[in-house]
Amino acid sequence: MPHLGGDWTLTGELGLVSDRNFLEQYFELEWDTFKDESTDLDLKRLVANSSYEITGEVRPNGFVTDTQWLPRGDHFLFGQPLLFDRLSWHEHTSVGYAQMLVASQPTDPAQTAVISRLLFGTVNSLTEWYRPDGGLSADALADALVATTFDGLRTR
């Protein structure tokens, strides 16, 4: 974190993921609990109880739905006393240009591992809740499973 003088700090982060399923398959704890991978540059100035920040964030991975910020400016004010220190005022002001980028569809069958795991889990759990003597026949269950699977995964 280089300090540029005058209370300015410049930070950068490069977040690249090799494929759409890499983190989820091999580092599941990180996928579920850590912050998302991001590629950004951040210029920040701290003065007393306020902070000024200019951020630029891009998305290098086309297979992740994300928001690009080109640029974004933020101002934070923490604990500004009001009414003879009886109240504290906190504020955050933000202005920027945001561009929502939607993930691309998988084109490589090898990238559909998540879908296959979901289907396997669905079929595997049928033994826990399906009762042949219940109101749903095996043929009706199979038809519902096939229709939901293929209609839900079809590109429109």
**What's the predicted TM-score (pTM) here?**
0.57
Is 62:104 a contact under the CB 8 Å cutoff?
Answer: yes
- Mean pLDDT for the chain overall: 82
The answer to whether residue 22 scores a pLDDT higher than 80 is no
| Amino acid, single-letter form, for residue 24 | E
pLDDT at 77: 94
pLDDT in tens, 1-19: 566 777 899 999 998 877 7
Q: Residue 57: exposed, middle, or buried by beta-carbon count in 10 A (0-12, 13-18, 19+)?
A: buried
Using CA atoms, how far apart are residues 70 and 97, in angstroms rounded to an integer?
6
| SS3 call for 70 | strand
pLDDT at 51: 94
pLDDT at 12: 94
When pLDDT is cut at 50, 70 and 90, the band that residue 95 belongs to is very high
The answer to whether residue 149 scores a pLDDT higher than 70 is yes
pLDDT in tens, 40-53: 999 999 998 999 99
When pLDDT is cut at 50, 70 and 90, the band that residue 152 belongs to is low
Using CA atoms, how far apart are residues 127 and 43, in angstroms rounded to an integer?
56
Q: Is the alpha carbon torsion for 128, 132, 138, 143 positive or negative? A: negative
Q: Write the CB contacts of 120 (distance below 8 Å, at least 6 apart in sequence).
A: none
